[in-house]
Structures are given as C-alpha cells and as structure tokens.
Amino acid sequence: MMTTELPSIRELEVFRATIFTGSATAAAERLGVSQPSVSRTLAQIEERLNLILFIRQGGRLSPTAEALALNEELDPIFDGLDRVRSFADTAEAMRGGRIRVLAPPSFCNHFVTPMMIEFKRAHPSVLIELRVVSSREALGAINDGEGDIAITTNRVAHPGVRMEQIIATQSVCVMPPDHPLAKKSVVRAEDLEGEAFIALSSNLKARMGVDRIFDRAGVTRDIVAETTTNFCACEFVASGIGITVINPFPVMRNFEGQLITRPFVPKFEHSVFAMFSAEAAPNWLGRAFLAYLKRSASAWEAGRAA
C-alpha cells in the first residue's frame, strides 16, 4: 500500500496564501517568493494529493470544493502553529508593546473591556488602547494603520482588511419569565402580532433584518421604544414595557434571573468578527488578544448550552 507524501508546512502556507489572495502572483508577494515558485508548489501539492485544487481562469486561481475543504481541515493546524509562534514571541514582547483595539459600543462594556482588563493583568508592561467606534470607522482605521484589531458585526469585503469570525449566534426573543410567550419552546414571528415591542434603532443592520422578517410574515408589532444597543433593549424588557428580538451575545449574561429567551423563528443569524489589516499579519499582541476574545466567546456558548 503506497503512502501519500504529505506537503510540508511551508507548502501548505503557499496553498493557504493562494486561497486567500486568489492568484499566484498575489500569494508570491504576500510570502516574499517568486510567482513561478508558488505555481510549482501548487502543482506539487496537487500531484502528491492527486487532487485538482485550483481552476485557472483569466489569471485568477479559483479554489475547487476539495481545496476549500482541505483549507478548513488545515485551520486547527495553523491555529496551533500561531499559538506556538505567539508563545515564542512572548518572552521578548512581554518587555513592552502596544495594542490598539477598536470596538462598537454594543461590545465594549460586556465583551471587549473585560478581556482588555484581563489581558492587561496578564501583560502589565503592554500599553492597551481602546477606541469606541462604528463599524465604518473601524474599517477606515484598520485600513489606515490606526488600529491593530477591530471588533465588528459586519463582514467586510475590502482589499485592505481581512476578517476572522469570533462567534456566530442566532436571534432570540427576550421576555420576562412571567410573559405568556414564555410557555412556548420557540417563538415565531406570528406570535408577536400586536405585542409591545422594543426595537433597535432604524439605522442598524440588525434592526433592518428583523423588520424584514416581520414584514414578510405580515406581522404588525406595537413598537413602544427604540434603542441603539441590545443591553438597553434588555433593560427596557426587564422594566416590563415590552419584549424584543436581539442577538443574545454577549448581553444576556447580565440579565440571568431577570429575563428569559426563546429561539426565534424564522432564524436570523449574527456573527462577530475580528478585523485585521490585510497588508501585514497581526503581531503577537493582536493574535494573543484574539485568543482571549475567542476563549470568552466559547465560555459564553458553553454557559448557554449548560
């Protein structure tokens, strides 16, 4: 039985860079090697694995389904390598450094700030900076080199930045424990006909998405209050003036015992991303802080499932 010769880590780095950039030329520039070298490496990987990984179309390399599946399998391997690199860098970097974090108001108080405090305690010599900005402002700052990592709920397609998902959730219906809808295992859009409703501000992406769901269902809510943050929406609900449909992350941990949630149908998905500059890989501080954020998000998910 023949044993498949596996590609080296360096060869897999070439493969992942090509997936990310979409061309051998761009991958070569990213890795600091020649374009022919990238092309040869890709051909060698395809030959060893006996797979077609890219379709050549007009100077672009389009990944096949097999390439995308392989790339997903490689994620934990490269995550582990990043942790090793981060560990190797820490001894020298602990003597100083700075991390500039950008985040919207909805994630500062209940997610980002606690992690920055924990990060500072673990790395006392590091200067931490937190700027509260909108997603649009965060994109500009990262693209202009004015921030190291930004937290956003918007997946941005921009050549100057790259995105990494931190957590994915689905909207829930939030209500007091004694509300009649609490008896249901799932709350449907139709169940909220005529209900006193706390809505997010009309200029927010989440509000627009929820509005579309109710419009398609032909449901009329009695909107009694609007707010810019999920936390404030929950405070309104806790006061007894209405119910709401929001992304539960991360604010629901602050209302344990006061409010309950039920899955909302049709499903409305939310994601939280870390945004980095596409021009340079994040330094050890950016990678380390992202690990803190992911750990916190995982703990939140585990707590919800318990």
Q: Residues 49, 109: one domain?
A: no
pLDDT in tens, 181-219: 999 999 999 999 999 999 999 888 889 999 999 999 999
Quote the CA–CA distance of 271 and 155 in Å, as a whole number: 8
Quote the CA–CA distance of 303 and 205 in Å, as a whole number: 27
pLDDT at 61: 85
Helix (H) or strand (E) holding 162: strand 161-170
Domain-terminating residue out of 93, 108, 134 = 93
Half-sphere exposure for 85 (CA within 13 Å, toward CB)? 14
Q: Residues 160, 195: one domain?
A: no
**Contact, 272 vs 297, CB < 8 A?**
yes
Range of the domain at 122: 96-164+272-305
**Contact, 9 vs 81, CB < 8 A?**
yes
**Is the overall model pTM greater than 0.85, yes or no?**
no
Q: Residues 6, 87: one domain?
A: yes
- Percent helix / strand / coil, the chain, rounded to 5: 50, 25, 25
Q: Residues 4, 70: one domain?
A: yes
pLDDT in tens, 139-186: 888 888 888 999 988 887 788 888 889 999 999 999 999 999 999 999
Structure tokens at 286: 């950016």
Q: Residues 291, 146: one domain?
A: yes
pLDDT in tens, 230-248: 999 999 999 999 999 999 9
